[in-house]
Structure 1
Amino acid sequence: MNICNLHQPVGRYLQFRQYSMNLSEVVKRLNSLASTSLAESWDNVGLLLEPHSKKEIETMMLTNDLTEEVMDEAERIRANFILSYHPPVFQPLKRITSKAWKERIVARCLEKGIAVYSPHTSYDAVQGGVNDWLIQAFDGEEVSPLHPSKKLPKYSHQVTVTTSSELEAMALVESFTALLDQSQTFIKSSEKQMEVLCTEGTVPTIINLITDNENASALQLTLTKLEKVPIVGHGMGRKCKIVQPMTIEEAINRIKSHLGLPYVRLALAHGAKLV
């Protein structure tokens, strides 16, 4: 897979060289990065547009917002999957005509066989996601969510597998992601561990997969029945402890440098100063 830059692009695209991937597999892998259950209740995330045909994905376009300009580019590069951070379909559509730009985009996607997926707040909430990346600008300590995600009732158990190395834990996560139903599980790696949140009915399948693993004798398994507790590390917003005091101006410069922006908008509190 190659990541390609376009001339004066409004988006980015990934092109699968010499092979394609089925739409269901693409969605499965995206859901494994950040479960849609982490999204805010008001949000509209996941697979938003699914063409009736053309289920094999060859070129994926990445964009922050799916505008008509982006749509023009997607058609030009023959993309058949668009990952739009903000959901282009948010409110219910009563009709799909050529009168409104969002309706035109939906019609064009379906006509061209282009699938559309939006992660939005699930990528904000997930540990290691957008919010964790943003707060790195301040090199802070003790980073944690402002509003930790609550465990959904469907997750009744947590299976923790301790391995001998971080690489082995990551390999287990990749393997289990491919084998388990992502609508019934939430999988992540943490240092030398793989953690799986799951339904009670999925527990036997997970245990069998672990015991059948070629390195089963070296794995340590812990099974925990869960109450409705926060999912550690996931949630909306981030807070951290600043190592050294800084002025507002210093904070602004850190943000500009981290994001690669020449300017940022700022509203100062009454009586506040930049330095």
Structure 2
Amino acid sequence: MAARTPIAAIKRVWERIAPLQLAERSWDNVGVLVEAPFPETRERKQVLLTIDLTPSVCAEALALPACSAVISYHPPIFRGLKSITLGDPLQASLLKLAARGISVFAPHTSLDATPNGINTWLVEPFKGNSSAIEVVTATENPPEGFEGAGMGKIVRLKVGMSLEDVVATVKKHLGLQYVQVATPNPERKVESVAVCAGSGGGVLRGVKADLLLTGEMSHHEVLACVAAGQTVILANHSNTERPYLKAVLQPWLQRELDTEGAGWEVLVSTNDADPLRTM
């Protein structure tokens, strides 16, 4: 019989959303990172979504009356740890959650690669003007039903757009007042857009597209793109990821968890925010 704990239910439904097989397992750390030790938490059915598990997000989870799990897109445990202590603020968050019986699950690149994932959402405002949408790097041997999975997306536009219009479209979609732009020619029409959520310098390297949209690139990666005739839009790392939680993942996960029984409530953190501000 399948386990009836909340984290077991989350693991089951996640395989219908973004199987962990899609993740970049050679370097990424995905799945259950902290498993709650207390069986009495099985009746708690609140799930908190966040991009980063910061101390303020931890406090938010602890304040919820029935939180059983935090789904943190970025894994709070990324590399091997020799100890977990209260002296480290991020490790302290994990200890506090475990002590309260709250599990932690991290999907990261599985949610980037899945066909209805973050990169698919990033190109959403361009779909009405697209002649083709392609994956930058296709996932090898994806699970059945997840054909078309992969990292990054390229949109070929039917009608070219001005850089000003592309920037306005991106800012509206991401809910931002400002983005950073580097371009060799601000007057050139944009005929194709390639996107990669988060840090896209590696995924987008060598991609044939007029404009590259991502959260961050290194200084030299931006220089190389501009030298190659490409425009770059940078929105800050997590700003390309966070809006997806409320727009897509919250209702999707809610529908899937409802098939596991009554009483589930999927929430999006109100304390989660990009750490960088333009002042």
TM-score by length of 2: 0.60
Equivalent of residue 52 in structure 2, options 58, 65, 77:
65
Does structure 1 conserve the Cα–Cα contact (< 8 Å) formed by 2:6 and 2:69?
Answer: no
User: CA deviation digits over 1:119-162, x for unaligned, max 9?
Assistant: 1111110111110110112222321210000016xxxxxxxxxx
**What percentage of aligned pairs have identical amino acids?**
32
Which residue of structure 2 lines up, in the alignment, with residue 272 of structure 1?
185
User: CA deviation digits over 1:216-263, x for unaligned, max 9?
Assistant: xxxxxxxxxxxxxxx631100001211111122111111111222222
State the SS of the aligned residue for 2:150: strand
What is the rounded CA distance, in whole Å, between the counterparts of 1:108 and 1:75 in structure 2?
8
What does 1:1-275 correspond to in 2, within 5 Å?
A: 22-40=6-24, 41-54=26-39, 55-56=41-42, 57-78=44-65, 79-139=67-127, 140-151=130-141, 186-188=143-145, 232-266=147-181, 268-269=182-183, 271-273=184-186
Which residue of structure 2 lines up, in the alignment, with residue 173 of structure 1?
none
What is the rounded CA distance, in whole Å, between the counterparts of 1:254 and 1:133 in structure 2?
13
Taking structure 1 as reference, are residues 274 and 48 closer, same or farther at Cα in structure 2, changes over 3 Å only? farther
What is the rounded CA distance, in whole Å, between the counterparts of 1:70 and 1:102 in structure 2?
11
Does structure 1 conserve the Cα–Cα contact (< 8 Å) formed by 2:7 and 2:68?
Answer: no
Aligned length: 179
Taking structure 1 as reference, are residues 34 and 244 closer, same or farther at Cα in structure 2, changes over 3 Å only? same
TM-score by length of 1: 0.61
- Quick check: 23-32 or 82-91, which moved more? 23-32
Amino acid at match of 2:85: T
Alpha-carbon distance, 1:31 to partner: 2.3
What is the rounded CA distance, in whole Å, between the counterparts of 1:42 and 1:31 in structure 2?
20
Larger radius of gyration: 1
What is the rounded CA distance, in whole Å, between the counterparts of 1:25 and 1:98 in structure 2?
29
What is the rounded CA distance, in whole Å, between the counterparts of 1:107 and 1:250 in structure 2?
47
State the SS of the aligned residue for 1:253: helix
Q: Extract unaligned runs of 5+ from structure 2.
A: 189-279
Which residue of structure 1 lines up, in the alignment, with residue 251 of structure 2?
none
Does structure 2 conserve the Cα–Cα contact (< 8 Å) formed by 1:146 and 1:237?
Answer: yes
What is the rounded CA distance, in whole Å, between the counterparts of 2:159 and 2:48 in structure 1?
40
State the SS of the aligned residue for 2:121: helix
Amino acid at match of 1:44: N
Q: Which aligned segments of 4 or more residues in structure 1 are displaced greater than 4 angstroms? A: none
State the SS of the aligned residue for 1:51: coil
**What is the root-mean-square deviation of aligned Cα atoms in Å?**
1.9
